[in-house]
Structure 1
Amino acid sequence: MKFLLSVLFAVILSAFSNLAFALPTFKEVKAVWRSSDVVLLDRNGTPIQRIRVDKTVRKLDWVTLNQVSPAFRNALLISEDKRFYQHSGVDWAAVVAAGWGNALSSKTRGASTLTMQLVGLLDEDLRRGNAGRSVWQKAGQTVSATWLERSWTKPQILESYLNLVSFRGEIVGLSALAATLFGKAPSGLDARESAIAVALLRAPNAPVSKVAERACGIVTALKAGDCRGLAGETAVALAQTSPRYSANEQLAPHFARQLLATQPQAAGTQVRTTLDAELQRFATQVLRRTVGELANRNVEDGALLVLDNASGDVLAWVGSSGDWSRAGEVDGVLALRQAGSTLKPFLYQQAIAGKWLTAASLLDDSPLNLNTGAGLYNPQNYDSSYKGPVSVRTALGSSLNIPAVRTIQMVTPRAFRDQLYALGLSSLNQDGDYYGFSLALGGADVRLLELTNAYRALANLGMYSAVRNIHHAPAGNTKQIIDRASSFIIGDILADRNARAATFGLENVLATRYWSAVKTGTSKDMRDNWTMGFSRKYTVGVWVGNASGAPMWDVSGMHGAAPVWQAVMNRLHERTPSKAPPIITGVEARNVQFEKNLEAPRRELFLAGTGRDQIYAASHAQPIAITAPIDGAIYALDPDIPPNNQRIVFHSTGIKQPIWWLNKKRIGQAQSISWFPWPGRYRLEMRDGAGKVLASVKFEVRGAGLK
């Protein structure tokens, strides 16, 4: 009998020898293994983010045998192959026992060893079908298992099996199973968790009750305590559908999504990015802490971006405030939000470059009414107060609105929009007239990514290039978009804490112990809150608000985004100096004074050839004009208001004591006069003492009569 079995086995061995020799080596199996994820590394090679790209299967990294807990290995061998280390691929004792069991119709475990199961995973021809394996498949499996045991070591067989075996649903391999069901690495699995995992091998998609029953048997065999609570643990584990990675592998989800959307990567790829893991972690913590502190002011969301000025490398990209947000999937770095005052530096830069203004030019910060195609435009300052004549340096540093609107009248909305678009603000895809004068105050939607890179261009003296997110990728094309000298002057203004003092005071969260240039912004109804700024080496942009568009409660850029900006900037400069830049070619410094001490004497910067040794007076900044009423205005009388309470004020700028004429009749002489209205059409003229018409407007008063 023994002789006949030997002959039969020899015949089978000969028949399947070619099949066995076709099996891969252990090195080949490991080499072709691919995770279903792309793993992003930081600039130093530290893993920072996993993101799945292969939707057909769930596989994580290859796990080596020494990364598997002893509890799991014991549970596997007790349940699946007690004599794994004694047999040579086929457990003949188990084969005989299974044969007697089948003959007696008793319930026994199958005779398939781990080696035989691995052969089925390596060779599709030997894979088990829905109806089980055929006789020839079983014979081939036996021969191949014997060959594999001679070619591979026991540890290699066990390690490959743990990585290739399917557990439940789409989950393949122990690393994916441990992360999904238990939120652990394989090394951390205890006896009960191991029993649940091993119980899935024979029937991966069995109901919870069956899995728990089998797991209980394994726990008992391991002598790992009783089975109380095991059914509940099994139910909880099997309810999990996605891997639970460690926090260190989920540092940049929004950044990863954007990178793969623009630069797709194959499953199993590791990509070395430009991010700095420590900075990314710190920035995330600071943003989330600050948003949490503002929760009682109706703030839920925030985003942050850090760029290296020289290379354009993205060093930190935080797209959301995490648990504080009800829209955590929305990437605040890419979302469109209203820009607020963050566009003002580019407006003044354009005006200085065009030589319409200098940093010492005086602008009138007083009430302004503009007649536009959409109606009357009446801009207001943030604090609803007016400073009178102010220099461009003060107007920008203190973020005054009305001087900015007067400036865009010189530059024109069309030219301003075109420059912003050239700086990469692609969302400004309408003609400048579409945005009108409100573009000076940020009345347009922008992306934090593009706005921060525009500020980086300002830091680089007008040189623009695209950002970079893959380490050592080729640098993008660099182009001079805006003028160098005027960019330098704007940077100097944004770094001047004295220029900010009129609105923000000398000591505030924008002040740093090193050289930095910074600008805040708050959109209409406090829906968006910005702080944008740069040092010699880095540019940092922060947005705080609500993804829903809901307004915040009394939160300005100084209280929302600025503390985050300062904390990140301080972290960047713990060991990196940022000294004030020396004056560049094309810029000259002059001592300036102002009439009636409007501002303190100072050393001011000018484009070469535009500085003047003179006293700057308010009249230089105020155009001769009628500021109220605006041309084409229509007033309606209210019969329910007493006549003495209804007046129209005529107001002028640029000349002292003008003479007013209404429909060719002189009505008074003063900077402003109050006139009793009556229905009709009117032409109002402002004349000088010689009778010359300096300015005129037309307006209409409507009303049926007065009581």
Structure 2
Amino acid sequence: LFVEDRDFYRHHGVDWGAVSRSAVSYLTGQKARGASTLTMQLTAMLDPKLSWQTGGRSLKRKWHQLQAARQLEKTWTKAQILEAYINLMVWRGDLQGVSTASLALFGKWPRGLNKDESILLVSLLAAPNASIQRIADRACVLINAGYQADCQEVKELAFQQLSQRRLPIEQRADSLSLAARLLTQANQNYQTSLDKNLQDFSYQALRSQLASLAAQKANAGAVLVLNNQTGEVLAYVANSGLVEDKVWVDGIYAPRQAGSTLKPFLYGLAFENNLLTAASVLDDQALNISTEQGLYVPQNYEKDFKGAVTVRRALASSLNIPAVLTLNKVGLENFWKMLNELGFSLEQQADYYGNALALGGADINVWQLANAYRALANQGQFSEATLELSSPIRATKTILSPQASFIVADILSDRNARSLTFGYENPLATPFWSAVKTGTSKDMRDNWCVGFSSRFTVAVWVGNMQGLPMRDVSGITGAAPVWQMVMNYLEAGAGQSFAPQPPKGVHQQLVEFDGFAQPNYQEWFIDGTEQAKVSYWPNNVPEIVYPVANTIIALDPDMPKNYQKVFFKAKTGGEQLSFWLNDKNLASAQQDYAWQPKRGRYLLQLKNLQGQVRAQVRFEVRGKAFVK
């Protein structure tokens, strides 16, 4: 503070006296005087548009910086501003953050620095890349101002320490755990596919965003960038380096709750099995589902309900109730199998997760998530990602059809469809074609942003190393800005990203909607599933009234079978429908059907005369039958 901002604890972001003196010097042609407070400098680190290095020196830019500093002081404490400043400041060369500088120059953490080392480190602030002699002279100025130390000893320390670096840039916190993972023997070399410039940019983008979230208990994150075609890892930021005793934690492989990031695969499975189209209508309203543990009552992130919505809007805007309804159509076991095929390696069986699997109740990691989305970018073709440069071509397998993958990607790129939840302008928007999804886990402990352009897939996780809830940090405010910065950086150097060409077997058709507020529009369909008109009148929607989804029926061994019949009940909505149980036609659904239960798992469906499924539920029968 003595060097950069002596009135730090007295001003509110702007030192108006210093600003006045600087303005007079500027107008009279005298030597420029510094007027930027520590807070003003921090705003330029958080927003590059406010930095003279990118925006040039101008009164307009300085005015915007003044306003930003005043606003920052209203929301952050002085301690938070100071912490962010020392963690984002570049101290010498490319050494960003006080911990990195301390480790590189002195081989120790900041808390272990002695007085001479501390004075020398602070002397770097005004001009980090000045000559060693100039920095040594500046250190002596500090000593003469009252800091007890020997000027000659500090000068000798400067020439000794500033001419060497103990910490190569490759050993920053972002890659420490990766080096430990790959280098298992002494004097071993491993040639990776990492792009150094991209790695550096991704690391700084993550640290910058986390600094802006310091007041909201977000101090950790990870970024992974993949080449869609080759699967090569281009950036592997495993750690932000902001938590001193956690720098060896590999955030790429650390298990975290998935949030809403798995929904695209769920809907893709529904498309592939002709259970839904992007124009199908799902009712986003309060839902009670019977489970072994009691009623399961899912809610949306915003704690409200949107009513009737198309599948396109439900997925793009990440609505939870429609996702649970879709899981019941697809089947929990089928979705669980698909996720494992995508490389998620879920530790528990499907029943353990239940309906929560649709909403991110499973633990996943950044590596798994990025590569699964890369499969979407590659028309449903899955292959393992690799850190090895020019590695042999790896085997691929089809997880999802090209047609279903294309429609999912198109939905995830639809700014209008996601505006229901996120608005039109948000960090998910890019000036080129991209498909993206966010996710936020329970209590805001983790948030995600993952998506792809035509060439690259980027996955970002933001949270904290303690696994504690963050304060009002969601995927859109936490991870998404980092995703956007990295994706913009990638595409700026690669040329324009264009939307993928539709594969054979899909076509676009105008859909007319009736019964709820949805404008007509052109929708993509897998051939044979097209709908020219979609009518949705809530009171006329076919529904299986009993059993409800995931009901468990218990047989009573002391009661004769004839007294244990289960009555299937349905609302047909005026359609001619039949009950189908495990693909066997039972009877017309116009009236209740008495069924004799037997142990097992069942899929009960309502089908029309054309064989289309209009509603379905899964249930299970347990226990022993009556024995005379």
Residue 629 of structure 1 deviates from its aligned partner by: 9.9
Of residues 316, 324, 329 in structure 1, which corresponds to 2:235?
316
Instruction: Tell me what 1:39 maps to.
Output: none
- In the alignment, is residue 403 of structure 1 matched against residue 322 of structure 2? yes
Instruction: Tell me what 1:519 maps to.
Output: 437
Instruction: Tell me what 2:267 maps to.
Output: 348
Give yes or no for contact 2:291–2:551 (8 Å, CA) kept in 1.
Answer: no
Instruction: Tell me what 2:82 maps to.
Output: none
* Residue-by-residue CA offset, 1:178-210 (whole Å, 9 max, x unaligned): x999669xxxxxxxx9xxxxxxxxxxxxxxxxx
TM-score by length of 2: 0.61
Q: Write the distance in 2 (CA, Å) between the matches of 1:629 and 1:410.
A: 12
Instruction: Tell me what 1:414 maps to.
Output: 333
- In the alignment, is residue 360 of structure 1 matched against residue 360 of structure 2? no
Residue 267 of structure 1 deviates from its aligned partner by: 3.0
Give yes or no for contact 1:369–1:630 (8 Å, CA) kept in 2.
Answer: no
> Which consecutive unaligned segments of at least 5 residues does structure 2 have?
1-102, 109-116, 118-148, 553-569, 575-614, 618-628
Q: Write the distance in 2 (CA, Å) between the matches of 1:413 and 1:695.
A: 13
Give yes or no for contact 1:291–1:324 (8 Å, CA) kept in 2.
Answer: no
Give the stretch that moved more between structures: 317-326 or 441-450: 317-326
Q: Say if 1:325 and 1:402 are closer, same or farther in 2 by CA, change over 3 A.
A: farther
Instruction: Tell me what 2:489 maps to.
Output: 571
Give yes or no for contact 1:339–1:521 (8 Å, CA) kept in 2.
Answer: yes
Instruction: Tell me what 2:361 maps to.
Output: 443
Q: Write the distance in 1 (CA, Å) between the matches of 2:272 and 2:491.
A: 31
Q: Say if 1:622 and 1:343 are closer, same or farther in 2 by CA, change over 3 A.
A: farther
Q: Write the distance in 2 (CA, Å) between the matches of 1:482 and 1:618.
A: 32
- In the alignment, is residue 277 of structure 1 matched against residue 196 of structure 2? yes
Give yes or no for contact 2:220–2:242 (8 Å, CA) kept in 1.
Answer: no
* Residue-by-residue CA offset, 1:249-275 (whole Å, 9 max, x unaligned): 536223222333xxx4x5334332100
Q: Say if 1:273 and 1:395 are closer, same or farther in 2 by CA, change over 3 A.
A: same
Q: Write the distance in 1 (CA, Å) between the matches of 2:542 and 2:452.
A: 35
Q: Write the distance in 1 (CA, Å) between the matches of 2:418 and 2:278.
A: 14
Q: Write the distance in 1 (CA, Å) between the matches of 2:189 and 2:616.
A: 69
Aligned amino acid, residue 526 of structure 1: M
Q: Say if 1:626 and 1:502 are closer, same or farther in 2 by CA, change over 3 A.
A: same
Q: Say if 1:480 and 1:470 are closer, same or farther in 2 by CA, change over 3 A.
A: same
Give yes or no for contact 1:362–1:618 (8 Å, CA) kept in 2.
Answer: no
* Residue-by-residue CA offset, 1:538-564 (whole Å, 9 max, x unaligned): 000000011211001111111000000
Give the stretch that moved more between structures: 245-254 or 516-525: 245-254
- In the alignment, is residue 539 of structure 1 matched against residue 457 of structure 2? yes
SS at match of 1:347: helix
Of residues 422, 425, 438 in structure 2, which corresponds to 1:507?
425
Give yes or no for contact 2:194–2:235 (8 Å, CA) kept in 1.
Answer: yes
Q: Say if 1:249 and 1:411 are closer, same or farther in 2 by CA, change over 3 A.
A: same
Q: Say if 1:407 and 1:629 are closer, same or farther in 2 by CA, change over 3 A.
A: closer
Q: Write the distance in 2 (CA, Å) between the matches of 1:632 and 1:467.
A: 40
- In the alignment, is residue 462 of structure 1 matched against residue 462 of structure 2? no
Residue 617 of structure 1 deviates from its aligned partner by: 2.4
TM-score by length of 1: 0.55
* Residue-by-residue CA offset, 1:335-367 (whole Å, 9 max, x unaligned): 000000000000000011011101101011111
* Residue-by-residue CA offset, 1:340-399 (whole Å, 9 max, x unaligned): 000000000001101110110101111100111122100001111111111110100000
Residue 412 of structure 1 deviates from its aligned partner by: 1.4
- In the alignment, is residue 496 of structure 1 matched against residue 418 of structure 2? no
SS at match of 1:292: helix
Aligned amino acid, residue 221 of structure 2: G
Q: Say if 1:616 and 1:514 are closer, same or farther in 2 by CA, change over 3 A.
A: farther
- In the alignment, is residue 246 of structure 1 matched against residue 168 of structure 2? yes
Q: Write the distance in 2 (CA, Å) between the matches of 1:452 and 1:283.
A: 15
Q: Number of residues paired by the alignment?
A: 417
SS at match of 1:543: strand
Give the stretch that moved more between structures: 321-330 or 440-449: 321-330
Instruction: Tell me what 1:604 maps to.
Output: 523
Residue 243 of structure 1 deviates from its aligned partner by: 7.7
Q: Write the distance in 2 (CA, Å) between the matches of 1:560 and 1:424.
A: 25
Q: Write the distance in 1 (CA, Å) between the matches of 2:357 and 2:378.
A: 24
Aligned amino acid, residue 244 of structure 1: R
Of residues 253, 257, 262 in structure 1, which corresponds to 2:180?
257
Query: How high is the sequence identity, in percent, across the aligned residues?
Result: 47
Pairing 1:64-463 to 2, within 5 Å after superposition: 244-247=166-169, 249-250=171-172, 252-260=175-183, 264=184, 266-324=185-243, 327-426=246-345, 428-463=346-381
Q: Say if 1:594 and 1:627 are closer, same or farther in 2 by CA, change over 3 A.
A: farther
Q: Say if 1:385 and 1:488 are closer, same or farther in 2 by CA, change over 3 A.
A: same
Residue 655 of structure 1 deviates from its aligned partner by: 5.2
Aligned amino acid, residue 558 of structure 1: I
Aligned amino acid, residue 254 of structure 1: S
What's the C-alpha RMSD, in Å, of the aligned pairs? 3.5
Q: Say if 1:611 and 1:545 are closer, same or farther in 2 by CA, change over 3 A.
A: same
Aligned amino acid, residue 416 of structure 1: F
Q: Write the distance in 2 (CA, Å) between the matches of 1:275 and 1:588.
A: 39
Give yes or no for contact 1:595–1:615 (8 Å, CA) kept in 2.
Answer: yes
* Residue-by-residue CA offset, 1:564-615 (whole Å, 9 max, x unaligned): 0000000001032111112111111111111145211111011111112223
Q: Write the distance in 2 (CA, Å) between the matches of 1:631 and 1:478.
A: 35
Q: Greater CA radius of gyration, 1 or 2?
A: 1
SS at match of 1:529: strand
SS at match of 1:424: coil
Q: Write the distance in 2 (CA, Å) between the matches of 1:538 and 1:392.
A: 26
Instruction: Tell me what 1:559 maps to.
Output: 477
Q: Say if 1:245 and 1:433 are closer, same or farther in 2 by CA, change over 3 A.
A: same
